[in-house]
Structure 1
Amino acid sequence: MTSEGTSTTRPPLHAHITDAIKAPALVRLSDNVVLARFETLKVYAALGAVRALLAAGTVRPGDTVVDSSSGIYAIALAMVCHRYGLRCHIVASTTVTPALRSQLEILGATVDQMPPERNLRLDQHRRVARVQELLRADPRMHWMRQYHDPVHRLGYAELAGLVRAALPEASLAVVASVGTGASSAGLVQPLREHDPTTRLVGVQPFGSVSFGSERFQDPEAIIAGIGSAIPFDNVRHELYDQVHWMTFQHAMAGSVALMRGHAVFAGLSTGAAYLAARWEARRHPERVHLVVGADTGHRYVDRVFARHREAPDAGTLEPAEIVTLDELSPPWSTMSWLRRGFPPPPHREPTTPAATPATPAAPATATAHRRRP
């Protein structure tokens, strides 16, 4: 080291921007909370999926891939398509901002953006219907199916290696928004190959079907990247040790607290995961809690950061601890999931993670969703 904060090590020279931005900045927030802060987490998913599909011959340069996205997967897929000479069509959520749409278009992607809807369910159903309409019109398109195809888990093995290298002796708990489920599964399974007791803590908004809160509606919350209005095959329920459900207001409190306390400008899903991790870290001080910060805060400036004075004080917030989904209630609930399937069986006493190992994953393959001539 030549001086504080500088190094004589030669920085890497990347062949494409996707290599430069895929790795996170790892920031220690407290003794047992570390943030993995990404510009866009899903570059790992898009790179792993596209490389596998190209290797399998499922897609070839010049082909068109299509998928639905609320934002960060869209930009990741567009950049990876730019790198590998694929055409990209995005069916975009109402939450995609003009700035993000402009980036997609400059990268060469075509964009269908859904009109504003009053809730997450209508937005997602409309996007899926539009993808199916496009496939009927042009069967040569390849549907990436980020919500369902396990090929999207493959790229996260590289991230697991980075985490292990940075925290080699730590007993880990990964705290992440559930979203499509691909990043959680793709990260925690390689980590559990080395330490089967590695915990996985998932964060959900009220209204998401993934962990049974669909009977609730949060009027403010289309929390992109956390929840789902339709079942996602990539959500592996049996991998999760703990689940947190929280409202938009609580997620906003986490985002503002992260900025105020650590100068980290990150998205709403990161704020929700940070709030959950603070509580988890007090309950499990022996573990290092890795908060997955999926994106920056730029697309939440108006809805979250401009309203920072409205945010509750994160230090005063505590979840209701529940034992069955019947007890679930806003604004924040948490439940020991115990690596069970969905729906969970009736309540039983908790066991140690080592006594309830995760079900082995089926091999992730580059599934072909259309035949070639």
Structure 2
Amino acid sequence: MTATSAFPSIAEATMMPRVIRLGPNLYGAAFTLMKLLPAHHILKRAEERGELGPDTVIVETTSGTFGLALAMQAALMRRKLILVSDPAIDANLYRRLTDLGARVEICHEPAEVGGFQEARLRRLAEIRAELPDSFCPEQYSNPGNPAAYQLVADQLTRTLGTVDTLIGPVGSGGSMCGTVRALRAGTPHTRAIGVDSHHSVLFGQPDGSRELRGLGNSLWPANLDHRVFDEVHWLTAGEAYASTRALHATHALFQGPTSGAAYLVARWWAERNPGLTGVVMLPDEGYRYQATVYDDAWLQAQGHPLREQPAARPATATSPETVGERWTRFAWDRRAYEEVPGAVARPAAAAQPVGAGA
């Protein structure tokens, strides 16, 4: 590689996906760490606007990959970073965050409403009140999050031409909403299939305990535009884990469980639509999950039989309130949340999380 073609940093070198053919009409957008894209975009724009002064401390709440992306970017920018998390953060991630120079605070008790995400938001507010100069990326409400995915849409269009359907997991809403809106600027017919977990409030279910991490939410993110989505699928943790292992065994793609969840839905879609082109978003690599999803003993201990086979097709729900405890699909039909019968009513002043997610 010549000096003129070298990447300026590891963030720029790895934030874009590789587009990989997974079948006759299905492609994967496989990321090393998808959250690098919005983290890089948000911090660089903040720096350009003068919001990151020489003594500004970056603060955010996270339990997963957005925190890692921020820690990498903050280290490269020589910025101080404080992350607020909860007991769900795994030890390997914690070590990596601190090795990159981040200060990580753990909230050990959930809030009565909103769980750990709300508890983290409260602690975040306390920390910001104590600091004379701070900046919060606010991935769940910052429009820079979805805006960053214009680059992905451009890449997919250059590589594949028309994308008929985009399938991907939903957490903050940034990747799916940003990519789909950008694609539809050229191809309004492009469909969006969101992949969620059971007991997530994002698409109308009551909040509850969720084993599957990295998608779903306990609060409503401002960046989630429900009108983008044509269809929603809910998956169990076991189905996502089995599909993650299948993705690795079949395509040698070593990705995390959110990728596995999206791949299961995408493979089903591709088989039903042989004349159309689909792309599935695969958010991060599997190294964080070697001691969990990729460990047979761990799967058995969690009650997931080895080589567990997900259903060949999803059940179909008539509303979010009729979704059972298995892979289920529902026609969202690009409606606003309030227009969908059977969706759990949102409070009049529904909390919008500020960076409260993965």
Distance 1:320 1:119 in 2: 33
Q: Does 1:112 align with 2:108?
A: no
Against the structure 1 CA distance between its residues 336 and 263, is the aligned structure 2 distance closer, same or farther, given a 3 Å change threshold?
same
> Contact (CA 8 Å) 2:204, 2:321: kept in 1 or not?
no
What TM-score, normalized by structure 2, do the two folds share?
A: 0.87
Once the two structures are superposed, the pairs formed by residues 2-21 of structure 1 within 5 Å of their partners are 12-21=5-14
Of the candidates 162, 166, 173, which is equivalent to residue 174 of structure 1?
166
Of the candidates 215, 218, 226, which is equivalent to residue 237 of structure 1?
226
Quote the residue 2:177 is aligned against.
185
TM superposition shift of 1:115: 3.9
Of the candidates 317, 325, 334, which is equivalent to residue 322 of structure 1?
317
Against the structure 1 CA distance between its residues 331 and 37, is the aligned structure 2 distance closer, same or farther, given a 3 Å change threshold?
same
Q: Does 1:37 align with 2:30?
A: yes
Q: Does 1:154 align with 2:147?
A: yes
Quote the residue 2:348 is aligned against.
none
Distance 2:292 2:261 in 1: 15
Against the structure 1 CA distance between its residues 165 and 38, is the aligned structure 2 distance closer, same or farther, given a 3 Å change threshold?
same
Identity among equivalent pairs (%): 29
Letter in 2 for 1:156: Y
Once the two structures are superposed, the pairs formed by residues 155-304 of structure 1 within 5 Å of their partners are 155-168=148-161, 170-214=162-206, 217-218=209-210, 221=211, 223-304=212-293
What are the Cα deviations for residues 158-198 of structure 1, in whole angstroms up to 9, with x where unaligned?
Answer: 12111111102x34311111110011122111111110111
> Contact (CA 8 Å) 1:60, 1:86: kept in 2 or not?
no
Which deviates more, 264-273 or 337-346? 337-346
TM superposition shift of 1:217: 4.0
> Contact (CA 8 Å) 2:111, 2:118: kept in 1 or not?
no
Quote the residue 1:22 is aligned against.
15
Distance 1:11 1:260 in 2: 38
What TM-score, normalized by structure 1, do the two folds share?
A: 0.83
Distance 1:84 1:153 in 2: 22
Which deviates more, 102-111 or 114-123? 114-123
Distance 1:324 1:290 in 2: 26
Of the candidates 67, 70, 74, which is equivalent to residue 63 of structure 2?
70
What are the Cα deviations for residues 210-241 of structure 1, in whole angstroms up to 9, with x where unaligned?
Answer: 111225544xx1x3321101111111101011
> Contact (CA 8 Å) 1:61, 1:85: kept in 2 or not?
no
Distance 1:119 1:291 in 2: 36
Unaligned runs of 5+ in 2: 300-304, 343-353
Distance 1:134 1:118 in 2: 17
Distance 1:119 1:288 in 2: 44
Letter in 1 for 2:331: S
Against the structure 1 CA distance between its residues 81 and 328, is the aligned structure 2 distance closer, same or farther, given a 3 Å change threshold?
same
| Superposition CA RMSD, Å | 2.5
